[in-house]
Amino acid sequence: MADLAEIADFTEQLAQKAGELIRHEREQNILRTDYKQQTELVTHADVMADEMITAAIRERFPEHRILSEETMPDLQQAEQLDTPLWIIDPIDGTVNYAYGHPQVAVSIAYAEKGRVQVGVVHAPFSRETFRAVRGEGSTLNGEAIRHSGATVPRQSLFATGFPYHKDGLEPLVNRLNAMIHQCRDLRRIGSAALDICWVACGRLDIYYENVSPWDFAAARLIALEAGATAGHFSEVPDGMPADLWGRDILISAPAVWEPVREILRKASGYY
Protein backbone atom coordinates (compact mmCIF):
# COMPACT_ATOMS: atom_id res chain seq x y z
CA MET A 1 0.00 0.00 0.00
CA ALA A 2 1.19 3.50 -0.85
CA ASP A 3 2.13 6.08 1.77
CA LEU A 4 -1.30 7.63 2.28
CA ALA A 5 -0.02 10.69 4.15
CA GLU A 6 2.23 11.50 1.20
CA ILE A 7 -0.61 10.95 -1.25
CA ALA A 8 -2.94 13.12 0.83
CA ASP A 9 -0.44 16.00 0.87
CA PHE A 10 0.06 15.67 -2.89
CA THR A 11 -3.71 15.55 -3.46
CA GLU A 12 -4.38 18.61 -1.31
CA GLN A 13 -1.67 20.63 -3.06
CA LEU A 14 -3.01 19.56 -6.44
CA ALA A 15 -6.62 20.45 -5.58
CA GLN A 16 -5.58 23.86 -4.30
CA LYS A 17 -3.48 24.53 -7.41
CA ALA A 18 -6.45 23.61 -9.61
CA GLY A 19 -8.61 25.87 -7.44
CA GLU A 20 -6.27 28.79 -8.09
CA LEU A 21 -6.59 28.21 -11.83
CA ILE A 22 -10.37 28.04 -11.63
CA ARG A 23 -10.65 31.15 -9.49
CA HIS A 24 -8.27 33.11 -11.73
CA GLU A 25 -10.22 32.21 -14.86
CA ARG A 26 -13.49 33.31 -13.28
CA GLU A 27 -12.12 36.50 -11.74
CA GLN A 28 -10.71 37.48 -15.13
CA ASN A 29 -14.18 36.92 -16.60
CA ILE A 30 -12.72 34.24 -18.86
CA LEU A 31 -15.70 31.99 -19.46
CA ARG A 32 -15.80 29.85 -22.57
CA THR A 33 -18.53 27.22 -22.48
CA ASP A 34 -19.73 24.20 -24.42
CA TYR A 35 -22.16 21.33 -23.86
CA LYS A 36 -21.78 17.57 -23.41
CA GLN A 37 -24.59 15.40 -24.77
CA GLN A 38 -26.35 18.66 -25.77
CA THR A 39 -27.44 19.33 -22.16
CA GLU A 40 -24.54 19.30 -19.67
CA LEU A 41 -22.60 22.53 -19.41
CA VAL A 42 -18.79 22.39 -19.49
CA THR A 43 -16.40 25.35 -19.34
CA HIS A 44 -12.91 25.79 -20.69
CA ALA A 45 -11.73 26.00 -17.08
CA ASP A 46 -13.14 22.48 -16.46
CA VAL A 47 -10.92 21.09 -19.19
CA MET A 48 -7.86 23.14 -18.20
CA ALA A 49 -8.09 22.05 -14.56
CA ASP A 50 -8.73 18.43 -15.55
CA GLU A 51 -5.70 18.35 -17.83
CA MET A 52 -3.50 19.96 -15.16
CA ILE A 53 -4.57 17.46 -12.49
CA THR A 54 -4.25 14.38 -14.69
CA ALA A 55 -0.85 15.46 -16.02
CA ALA A 56 0.49 15.88 -12.47
CA ILE A 57 -0.79 12.45 -11.44
CA ARG A 58 0.64 10.78 -14.54
CA GLU A 59 4.03 12.37 -13.91
CA ARG A 60 4.20 11.23 -10.29
CA PHE A 61 2.31 7.92 -10.51
CA PRO A 62 2.57 6.76 -14.13
CA GLU A 63 1.30 3.26 -13.33
CA HIS A 64 -1.95 4.46 -11.75
CA ARG A 65 -5.30 4.70 -13.56
CA ILE A 66 -7.45 7.84 -13.75
CA LEU A 67 -11.22 8.28 -13.87
CA SER A 68 -11.91 11.92 -14.67
CA GLU A 69 -15.16 13.61 -15.64
CA GLU A 70 -13.89 15.75 -18.50
CA THR A 71 -11.00 13.90 -20.12
CA MET A 72 -11.34 10.25 -19.03
CA PRO A 73 -14.95 9.52 -18.03
CA ASP A 74 -14.84 5.76 -18.71
CA LEU A 75 -16.77 4.26 -15.80
CA GLN A 76 -15.28 0.83 -16.51
CA GLN A 77 -12.17 2.15 -14.79
CA ALA A 78 -14.09 1.81 -11.51
CA GLU A 79 -14.55 -1.91 -12.15
CA GLN A 80 -10.84 -2.69 -12.61
CA LEU A 81 -9.61 -3.01 -9.06
CA ASP A 82 -6.09 -4.32 -9.52
CA THR A 83 -4.39 -0.92 -9.96
CA PRO A 84 -4.73 2.24 -7.84
CA LEU A 85 -7.35 4.61 -9.23
CA TRP A 86 -7.70 8.38 -9.04
CA ILE A 87 -11.22 9.82 -9.33
CA ILE A 88 -11.38 13.47 -10.35
CA ASP A 89 -13.97 16.19 -10.81
CA PRO A 90 -12.09 19.36 -11.80
CA ILE A 91 -15.14 21.58 -11.21
CA ASP A 92 -18.05 20.14 -9.30
CA GLY A 93 -20.77 22.75 -9.66
CA THR A 94 -20.05 23.87 -13.22
CA VAL A 95 -23.40 25.65 -13.60
CA ASN A 96 -22.71 27.55 -10.37
CA TYR A 97 -19.29 28.44 -11.75
CA ALA A 98 -20.73 29.71 -15.03
CA TYR A 99 -23.29 31.87 -13.21
CA GLY A 100 -20.81 33.31 -10.70
CA HIS A 101 -22.10 31.37 -7.69
CA PRO A 102 -19.41 30.47 -5.13
CA GLN A 103 -20.48 26.86 -4.41
CA VAL A 104 -17.83 25.23 -6.59
CA ALA A 105 -15.33 22.51 -5.71
CA VAL A 106 -12.36 20.55 -6.97
CA SER A 107 -12.78 16.90 -5.94
CA ILE A 108 -9.95 14.34 -6.00
CA ALA A 109 -10.07 10.84 -4.54
CA TYR A 110 -7.48 8.07 -4.44
CA ALA A 111 -8.68 4.46 -4.29
CA GLU A 112 -7.04 1.07 -3.86
CA LYS A 113 -8.90 -2.16 -4.70
CA GLY A 114 -12.18 -0.25 -5.00
CA ARG A 115 -11.91 1.49 -1.63
CA VAL A 116 -11.25 5.21 -1.42
CA GLN A 117 -8.27 5.83 0.86
CA VAL A 118 -7.76 9.58 0.45
CA GLY A 119 -10.26 12.32 -0.37
CA VAL A 120 -9.81 16.06 -0.85
CA VAL A 121 -12.52 18.56 -1.75
CA HIS A 122 -11.35 22.14 -2.21
CA ALA A 123 -13.75 25.09 -2.55
CA PRO A 124 -11.65 27.80 -4.21
CA PHE A 125 -14.02 30.75 -3.70
CA SER A 126 -14.61 30.16 0.01
CA ARG A 127 -11.02 28.93 0.38
CA GLU A 128 -12.11 25.82 2.27
CA THR A 129 -10.27 22.51 1.97
CA PHE A 130 -11.90 19.33 3.24
CA ARG A 131 -9.55 16.37 3.61
CA ALA A 132 -9.68 12.78 4.85
CA VAL A 133 -7.40 9.77 5.04
CA ARG A 134 -9.10 6.48 5.81
CA GLY A 135 -8.92 5.76 9.53
CA GLU A 136 -7.56 9.19 10.44
CA GLY A 137 -10.63 11.44 10.59
CA SER A 138 -11.61 14.47 8.51
CA THR A 139 -10.52 18.09 8.58
CA LEU A 140 -11.60 21.46 7.24
CA ASN A 141 -8.62 23.76 6.77
CA GLY A 142 -6.71 21.56 9.19
CA GLU A 143 -9.34 21.51 11.95
CA ALA A 144 -11.22 18.30 12.81
CA ILE A 145 -14.87 18.18 11.74
CA ARG A 146 -17.87 16.12 12.84
CA HIS A 147 -21.41 15.49 11.61
CA SER A 148 -24.34 17.43 13.09
CA GLY A 149 -25.64 14.73 15.43
CA ALA A 150 -29.19 15.13 14.08
CA THR A 151 -31.57 12.63 15.68
CA VAL A 152 -34.90 12.85 13.81
CA PRO A 153 -35.76 13.61 10.16
CA ARG A 154 -38.35 16.24 11.12
CA GLN A 155 -35.60 18.45 12.52
CA SER A 156 -33.09 17.69 9.77
CA LEU A 157 -31.95 19.85 6.85
CA PHE A 158 -31.40 17.90 3.65
CA ALA A 159 -29.83 18.48 0.23
CA THR A 160 -30.25 16.78 -3.11
CA GLY A 161 -29.82 17.52 -6.79
CA PHE A 162 -31.41 16.89 -10.15
CA PRO A 163 -30.03 15.53 -13.42
CA TYR A 164 -29.34 17.53 -16.56
CA HIS A 165 -31.58 15.16 -18.48
CA LYS A 166 -35.19 15.82 -17.52
CA ASP A 167 -36.70 12.52 -18.66
CA GLY A 168 -37.99 10.21 -15.95
CA LEU A 169 -38.19 12.80 -13.18
CA GLU A 170 -41.26 11.30 -11.50
CA PRO A 171 -39.31 9.12 -8.99
CA LEU A 172 -37.16 12.10 -8.03
CA VAL A 173 -40.21 14.31 -7.54
CA ASN A 174 -41.85 11.60 -5.41
CA ARG A 175 -38.76 11.44 -3.19
CA LEU A 176 -38.59 15.20 -2.90
CA ASN A 177 -42.26 15.39 -1.97
CA ALA A 178 -41.80 12.78 0.76
CA MET A 179 -38.66 14.40 2.15
CA ILE A 180 -40.10 17.94 2.14
CA HIS A 181 -43.08 16.72 4.17
CA GLN A 182 -41.00 14.76 6.68
CA CYS A 183 -37.86 16.90 7.14
CA ARG A 184 -37.12 20.46 8.24
CA ASP A 185 -36.29 21.92 4.82
CA LEU A 186 -34.30 21.57 1.59
CA ARG A 187 -31.10 23.28 0.51
CA ARG A 188 -30.15 23.14 -3.17
CA ILE A 189 -26.44 23.94 -3.30
CA GLY A 190 -25.55 22.72 -6.79
CA SER A 191 -22.38 20.77 -5.91
CA ALA A 192 -22.69 17.18 -4.75
CA ALA A 193 -19.16 17.23 -3.32
CA LEU A 194 -19.94 20.25 -1.17
CA ASP A 195 -23.36 18.86 -0.18
CA ILE A 196 -21.61 15.81 1.26
CA CYS A 197 -18.81 17.79 2.88
CA TRP A 198 -21.43 20.00 4.49
CA VAL A 199 -23.00 16.87 5.98
CA ALA A 200 -19.52 15.99 7.23
CA CYS A 201 -19.12 19.31 9.06
CA GLY A 202 -22.70 19.66 10.28
CA ARG A 203 -24.01 22.37 7.94
CA LEU A 204 -26.45 19.79 6.57
CA ASP A 205 -27.91 16.67 8.14
CA ILE A 206 -28.81 14.56 5.07
CA TYR A 207 -27.83 14.22 1.42
CA TYR A 208 -29.22 11.88 -1.23
CA GLU A 209 -28.97 11.76 -5.04
CA ASN A 210 -27.95 9.76 -8.12
CA VAL A 211 -24.41 10.85 -9.03
CA SER A 212 -21.25 9.71 -10.80
CA PRO A 213 -18.12 8.52 -8.94
CA TRP A 214 -16.24 11.76 -9.55
CA ASP A 215 -19.05 13.73 -7.88
CA PHE A 216 -18.92 11.94 -4.54
CA ALA A 217 -15.91 9.61 -4.11
CA ALA A 218 -13.72 12.07 -2.19
CA ALA A 219 -16.53 13.67 -0.21
CA ARG A 220 -18.02 10.32 0.82
CA LEU A 221 -14.78 9.38 2.60
CA ILE A 222 -14.68 12.81 4.23
CA ALA A 223 -18.21 12.27 5.56
CA LEU A 224 -17.45 8.76 6.79
CA GLU A 225 -14.31 9.91 8.57
CA ALA A 226 -16.38 12.68 10.19
CA GLY A 227 -18.62 9.99 11.67
CA ALA A 228 -21.51 10.21 9.20
CA THR A 229 -23.21 7.13 7.78
CA ALA A 230 -22.98 6.48 4.03
CA GLY A 231 -24.79 3.88 1.99
CA HIS A 232 -27.60 3.43 -0.53
CA PHE A 233 -31.38 3.17 -0.39
CA SER A 234 -31.33 0.58 -3.18
CA GLU A 235 -29.09 -2.41 -3.75
CA VAL A 236 -25.50 -2.11 -4.96
CA PRO A 237 -24.84 -4.47 -7.90
CA ASP A 238 -22.71 -7.53 -7.20
CA GLY A 239 -19.05 -6.85 -7.89
CA MET A 240 -19.37 -3.06 -7.80
CA PRO A 241 -17.48 -1.34 -4.94
CA ALA A 242 -19.93 0.59 -2.77
CA ASP A 243 -17.36 3.38 -2.52
CA LEU A 244 -17.78 4.04 -6.26
CA TRP A 245 -21.50 3.30 -6.82
CA GLY A 246 -23.49 6.52 -6.99
CA ARG A 247 -27.05 5.40 -7.66
CA ASP A 248 -29.44 6.12 -4.77
CA ILE A 249 -26.65 7.30 -2.51
CA LEU A 250 -27.60 8.42 1.01
CA ILE A 251 -25.23 10.13 3.47
CA SER A 252 -26.39 11.54 6.79
CA ALA A 253 -25.90 11.88 10.51
CA PRO A 254 -26.05 8.29 11.83
CA ALA A 255 -29.28 8.50 13.84
CA VAL A 256 -31.39 9.64 10.89
CA TRP A 257 -29.89 7.39 8.22
CA GLU A 258 -32.20 4.39 8.63
CA PRO A 259 -35.48 6.36 8.94
CA VAL A 260 -34.54 8.48 5.92
CA ARG A 261 -33.65 5.34 3.97
CA GLU A 262 -37.15 4.04 4.68
CA ILE A 263 -38.71 7.32 3.52
CA LEU A 264 -36.75 7.21 0.26
CA ARG A 265 -37.36 3.52 -0.39
CA LYS A 266 -41.09 3.94 0.09
CA ALA A 267 -41.23 7.06 -2.08
CA SER A 268 -39.25 5.21 -4.78
CA GLY A 269 -41.65 2.26 -4.77
CA TYR A 270 -38.89 -0.18 -3.82
CA TYR A 271 -41.33 -2.12 -1.65
Residues comprising the binding site for Mg(2+)?
A: 69, 89, 91-92, 215
Residues 91, 111: Cα–Cα separation, whole Å: 20
Annotated binding-site residues read 69, 89, 91-92, 215
Residues 232, 225: Cα–Cα separation, whole Å: 17
270, 232 in Cβ contact below 8 A?
A: no
Q: What is the DSSP secondary-structure string of the chain?
A: ---HHHHHHHHHHHHHHHHHHHHHHHHTT---EEEETTTEEEEHHHHHHHHHHHHHHHHH-TTSEEEETTTB--GGGGG--SS-EEEEEEEE-HHHHHHT-S--EEEEEEEETTEEEEEEEEETTTTEEEEEETTS-EEETTEE--------GGG-EEE----SS-TT-HHHHHHHHHHHHHSSEEE--S-HHHHHHHHHTTS-SEEEE---HHHHHHHHHHHHHTT-EEEESSPPPTTS-GGG--TTEEEE-HHHHHHHHHHHHHHHT--
Residues 195, 190: Cα–Cα separation, whole Å: 8
For residue 123, which of 197, 225, 210 has the smallest C-alpha distance?
197
